Amino acid sequence: MEPPFDAYPARLHCGISREVIDRQPEHLSPVEVGLLAITPSPDVAGSHDHRHLVSFARHLAELIASPIRKVEASGHTFYAVLGVVVFHRRADGTFETAMWQRPTDDDGDWLVDFLPWDTPILDFPRTTLWQNNIRQGLICEARTRIGDTEAADRWAAWVWGLLEERLIQNIDLRRLRSRIRHGLELDGTTLSMMRRRRRECASGSKPSVLSYNSTRSEAETLSQLRSCSEFASILASWLTLPEVSSAGSLEATARFKDACLTAGIKPRQWRLLAHPRSPLLPALRSFMREFAGDPHREPGEDFLGLIRMLKPTKRIDVEVWRSFLSMCGTRKCSPESYAESLAPLADTLCHILRILEAGKAPRDRDQRYQELHEICAWVADAGIKQLRPQQRRLGWKYLFTQAQRHTSHKRRSEALRALQWSVPLKPITLGELTATPLTCGSDLWEESVAMRHCADMYGSRCMSGSTLIISVRTLEGKRKATLAFTRREDDWKLAHAVGPANRQVGKQYDEMIDEILEVLSGGKSDRQRSAKRARYRVEVLDNFNPGASWGERVFPSLEAALGAARQICKDGLPTMDAYGLDSWYSFGETPLIIPLDDARPVDFSAVDYINKLCNRKQQI
């Protein structure tokens, strides 16, 4: 044992160890009479001892009847609680704690001090700490008496079940708690401040020895702060205020202000903290009730960190506060520090708060908070660390528009993730490129996000089997292009070939496209298929009678179709169209070359183009 517990009398009021384990009471209580009448179960009958059972039942009943005993020894004041824990009162009224322990069955009992992090000074009987230690004492006695460890453990478990049913479950915990609290001689002012802090912040944790000690050491300062500002009194109970110098004493408000300014709080925010009306008290209550889930965290320092980061100029609306904090956690799943978690987004959050404080958000309360929730979701998901000056000037409307787009994309991505389909193609590697078919909605979404195009809109077509989307990547996995193939009956053809942001791709992918078409068509190359299936139709229209046709013919190749067009337009004006192909225009007649099946597209039917040729002909 370490000081001051080395001054405590050895084994005095120790509930886990007894010198005589079969000492019988002079008069049996009704509970003890009932225990004597019980027939043990067959698995413990061989090791059962009625005298031991009655003796331990009387020991447990005495501990419950006298749950706390005050001991004066060597100028120290100790309190033995339920034969398990010993409290030592310091000169300043705070407590330190120690607990009876037995490292092994052969060792004696030791009074070991421990840090009182979670020891509930007011609700100690509601815990299982004292029951577990007393039960361990019963097991040690049974092993000493019986000798067989397994048999002793079975008997101790059976006996403890009887004692729980007939003694422990009948305890009046409220009365037992009150007797322990009264016996510890706790300070009334300190208890009142602890209750007020729990009530204001709805803290779910029980008041511990540590919280009592911290409140007791600052009781005078917190009482003075309460008369100045209720918020300051509550927040200061979680902060480490500067020590009072020996030369003089600092008044409570000056000490609290010194602690806040040291933490980085600006004078403008300090006026909010120290205001008599406590404008930030609702935010603190929300923080403690709904977000500060870990009792070991320093909630006061974390709250000050949030105020230092957001720099509010007026009262923070609780709904705004909740929207900001919910971006990184909740009470059941809280981060180590909310201030540190939100620090990367500080610039964006400050901009949002400035807009709200200036009244430039929607006036309707429900609409404002609904839009704020979507904006915060967008900022958190996309990690918007900073906005450009032109984005800031656009204000709330820009933020909400971006949030709506994000929500729409997110919903579409969630719907896509459930889609899966089979593809008629395995990955193909050709040189330094690999063609990977996309087989599920998640692949489509990732492709559309990475390449910045609308591949995610093809989910239903891929499910029906009419479209095949292929991602062309390097061997290292870098995306280079996206190919879309469509199927008509049993024939596949290329519909789109685009790069990032729908940019047109060069001819370096032609070989890969031909290879894919060859595999899809069952071994026939694209040139073989085109030679067999390509057809062109030449139709002659009367420019003076719209809708009238002078006739049409079908040709197997583009060259034959062009030859027929030349015969029709002998006096035509030769020009070049968008595809670099010759076309002719006759003053009164217009030939249209229309591709059929898998033929290469030829754009001869563009009305603007034909009108331009007509104007040129008339000018000539």
3-state class of 38 per DSSP?
Answer: coil
| Residues 249, 298 share a domain | yes
Q: Which of 463, 469, 432, 429 is nearest to 447 (CA)?
A: 469
Q: Quick one: the chain helix, strand, coil %, rounded to 5?
A: 50, 15, 35
| Residues 269, 164 share a domain | no
Q: Please state the three-class secondary structure of 271-320 as a single string.
A: HHHHCCCCCCHHHHHHHHHHCCCCCCCCHHHHHHHHHHHHCCCCCCCHHH
528 vs 466, more confident: 466
- Between CA 378 and CA 410 the distance in angstroms is 10
Q: Which of 530, 564, 594 finishes a domain? A: 530
pLDDT digits (tens, 9 = 90+) for 365-397: 889 998 999 899 899 988 999 999 999 999 999
pLDDT digits (tens, 9 = 90+) for 154-199: 999 999 999 999 999 888 888 888 888 889 888 887 887 777 767 6
Q: Tell me: pLDDT of 84 over 70.
A: yes
pLDDT value, residue 71: 92
| Residues 355, 228 share a domain | yes
Q: In total, how many domains does the chain have?
A: 4
Residue 421 lies in a domain: no
Strand 535-542 and strand 589-596: pairing?
Answer: antiparallel
| Residues 278, 348 share a domain | yes
Q: Which range among 279-288, 342-351, 578-587 shows the weakest confidence by mean pLDDT? A: 578-587
What is the pLDDT averaged over residues 397-420?
84
Q: Which of 526, 599, 571, 589 is nearest to 581 (CA)?
A: 599
What six digits make up the tokens of 173?
């915990």
231 vs 619, more confident: 231
| Residues 372, 439 share a domain | no
Residue 195 lies in a domain: no
Residue 305 lies in a domain: yes
pLDDT digits (tens, 9 = 90+) for 509-519: 988 998 899 88
Cβ neighbours of residue 620 under 8 Å, at least 6 residues apart?
573
68 vs 199, more confident: 68
Q: How confident is the model at residue 224 (pLDDT cuts 50, 70, 90)?
A: confident
Q: Give yes or no for a cis peptide into 362 (omega within 30° of 0).
A: no
| Residues 30, 65 share a domain | yes
Q: Name the residue range of residue 565's domain.
A: 534-619
| Residues 604, 505 share a domain | no
493 vs 415, more confident: 493
Q: Which of 530, 553, 583 finishes a domain? A: 530
Q: Is the dihedral of CA 197, 198, 201, 206 positive or negative?
A: positive
Residue 201 lies in a domain: no
| Percent of the residues in the chain that have a pLDDT greater than 90, as a whole number | 27
What is the pLDDT averaged over residues 199-223?
72
| Percent of the residues in the chain that have a pLDDT greater than 70, as a whole number | 77
Residue 204 lies in a domain: no
Q: What is the pTM of this model?
A: 0.50
Residue 196 lies in a domain: no
Q: Which of 183, 204, 223 finishes a domain? A: 183
Residue 198 lies in a domain: no
What is the pLDDT averaged over residues 436-453?
87
| Residues 546, 474 share a domain | no
Which CATH number does the domain housing residue 468 bear?
A: 3.40.630
Residue 188 lies in a domain: no
| Residues 375, 432 share a domain | no
Give the Å distances, CA to CA, from 374 to 78, 364, 394, 415, 603.
58, 16, 17, 19, 46
| Residues 236, 383 share a domain | yes
pLDDT value, residue 103: 62
What is the pLDDT averaged over residues 305-309?
93
| Residues 262, 399 share a domain | yes
pLDDT value, residue 544: 43
| Residues 122, 56 share a domain | yes
pLDDT digits (tens, 9 = 90+) for 246-261: 444 567 888 888 888 8
pLDDT value, residue 222: 77
